[in-house]
Amino acid sequence: MVPRRCWIHHSVLVPALLMISAANRADNAPKPALLRLSDKLMEGYKKGVRPVLDWRQTTTVLIDVMVYAILGVDEKNQVLTTYIWYRQFWVDEFLKWNPKEYENVTQISIPTEKIWVPDILINEL
Ligand SMILES: *[C@@H]1O[C@H](CO)[C@@H](O)[C@H](O)[C@H]1NC(C)=O
């Protein structure tokens, strides 16, 4: 008789506690600044569209190439095999915000899979 009552108490208590903590979080705690900012930036973002406000504007991509290592030299065929790092810089006109509205956040990291990236392929240097 007694163990059975105990078991019922537990099964009622646990969901009630979970509901209270979920309600507290939604009502009192504001969303963290980075989460709010990320939501704002990604809302309606289309990674397939070049990020300019005026389509007549070009997007300038700066490329910075660094030879990190020489992996091989084939003198007979005149082939130099290298390992390079390259960085690309461009302006995405859709990814802007007022830092004052986001606890003075001035930088955010966003995975490249989520945003427009230049379609540039280096075949040969
Ligand atoms: C943001 O910066 C302004 C100016 O420096 C400062 O007055 C304000 O308290 C800062 N806000 C936060 C949330 O840090």
100 CA distance to ligand 1 middle (Å): 7
Section 79-85 average pLDDT: 90
Q: Strand (E) positions, 39-78? A: 62-74
CA of 105 to the centre of ligand 1 (A): 10
Mean pLDDT, all residues of the chain: 83
Asked if residue 98 has its Cβ within 6 Å of ligand 1, the reply is no
| pLDDT at residue 42 is higher than 90 | yes
pLDDT for the residue 106: 97
Q: What is the pTM of this model?
A: 0.66
Ligand 1 centroid–CA 14 distance in Å is 41
Give CA angle at 57 (51, 58), nearest 5°: 80
86 membership: H or E segment, kind and range: strand 79-89
Amino acid occupying residue 67: V
Q: Identify the CA nearest to 30 among candidates 100, 97, 102, 108.
A: 102
Q: With a 6 A CB cut-off, is 106 part of the ligand 1 pocket?
A: no
Q: What is the pLDDT of residue 53?
A: 96
Closest protein CA for atom 11 of ligand 1: 103
Q: Cα(104) to centroid of ligand 1, in Å?
A: 6
Q: What's the half-sphere exposure (Cβ side, CA atoms, 13 Å) at 92? A: 21
User: Higher-confidence residue: 111 or 22?
Assistant: 111
Q: Report the alpha-carbon angle 95-96-102, nearest 5.
A: 115
